[in-house]
Amino acid sequence: MFRPKGWHSRGYLPHFDSPEAVQFITFRLADSLPGVIKGLRLDDNILQRLDQELDIGLGACWLQQPEIASLIEGALLHFDEGRYRLLAWCIMPNHVHVVIETSTGPP
């Protein structure tokens, strides 16, 4: 059975495990923000700026190809109702947004 760890780290990014926690996740292709990350400073508008830069559609935008978008959708749906409950997702040309509710069920 899955035992939530709360806040923990794998040595590079913080993670949060909690039963029934709703989480908003964004992941992106490596070339979607070329040089932008280095130029950003931590400020109150950093998330808004990152969203704006992602929405411009920089990079090769591989996710706009239906075959590749289908692979991402299949990967998201694979653990739906197992490790998490998939509440919403949006596959953009160069990044993906996902809203999940974590589960206490078996992984």
d(CA 64, CA 66): 6
Query: What is the per-residue burial (b if ≥16 Cβ within 10 Å, else e) of 60-69?
Result: ebebeeeeeb
Which residue shows structure tokens 């929405």? 55
- pTM of the entire predicted model: 0.72
Cβ pair 61, 94 in contact under 8 A: yes
pLDDT band per the 50, 70, 90 thresholds, residue 33: confident
Inform me whether the pLDDT recorded for 107 exceeds 80: no
pLDDT tens-digit profile of 47-104?
A: 777 778 788 888 899 999 999 999 999 999 999 988 899 999 999 999 999 999 987 6
